[in-house]
């Protein structure tokens, strides 16, 4: 598989909100790890720089509000969605091969709960599907997939739950 950096697909950040196209992404797996059907919510994690100007991206933004900032930074840019979709289709060892995306209406709601908050202390899994149980949430059976092994110039994580 060709490295995304080699084909010139670096993630980009637009200059102002009118240039932004931010996306949420998910996959549906009919029989995930032999556990039945699951929905995987993909998101970016650990951006070094903000995805854009928070006061333009987030409705009623409050400076320093970590949940609001995480909620914005977890979104994908248009090029990142294309790169992730291409990667999932090509990687034969990946846990799933489909990706659906939803364009976010901007500004995003200020009361957003970031996906990473749902992942804190749950199951983790690498891109090859190896599960690392840290603490399973008995209430809903939610899992957190760690996808740091993806050959992409940004870190992708998936939060999933049975459907």
CB neighbour list of residue 27: distance below 8 Å, 6 or more residues apart: 39, 40, 42, 88, 96, 98, 99, 100, 158
| Average pLDDT for 136-160 | 66
Whether 11 shows a pLDDT value over 60: the answer reads no
pLDDT of residue 2: 40
Instruction: Write down the residue that tokens 């997939």 correspond to.
Output: 145
pLDDT of residue 5: 42
Using only the alpha carbons of the chain, give its radius of gyration: 16
pLDDT of residue 25: 94
Among the residue ranges 3-7, 72-76, 96-100, 158-162, the one predicted with the least confidence is 3-7
| Average pLDDT for 26-40 | 81
63 DSSP assignment = T
- The pLDDT > 70 percentage for the chain reads 66
CB neighbour list of residue 145: distance below 8 Å, 6 or more residues apart: 40, 95, 124, 125, 157, 158, 159, 160
Among the residue ranges 15-24, 61-70, 100-109, the one predicted with the least confidence is 15-24
pLDDT of residue 62: 96
Whether 109 shows a pLDDT value over 90: the answer reads yes
Closest CA to 144 of 43, 31, 12, 14: 43
User: pTM of the prediction?
Assistant: 0.75
């Amino acid at each position: 598989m060709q490295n995304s950096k080699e084909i010139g697909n670096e993630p980009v950040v637009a200059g102002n909100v009118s240039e932004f196209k931010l996306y949420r992404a998910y996959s549906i797996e009919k029989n995930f790890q032999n556990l039945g059907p699951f929905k995987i919510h993909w998101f970016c994690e650990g951006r070094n720089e903000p995805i854009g100007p928070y006061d333009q991206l987030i409705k009623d933004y409050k400076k320093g509000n970590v949940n609001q900032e995480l909620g914005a930074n977890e979104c994908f840019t248009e090029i990142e969605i294309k790169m992730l979709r291409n990667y999932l289709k090509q990687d034969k060892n990946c846990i799933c091969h489909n990706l659906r995306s939803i364009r976010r209406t901007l500004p995003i709601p200020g009361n957003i709960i970031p996906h990473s908050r749902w992942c804190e202390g749950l199951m983790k899994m690498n891109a090859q599907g190896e599960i690392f149980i840290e603490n399973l949430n008995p209430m809903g059976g939610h899992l957190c997939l760690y996808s740091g092994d993806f050959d992409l110039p940004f870190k992708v994580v998936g939060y999933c739950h049975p459907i």
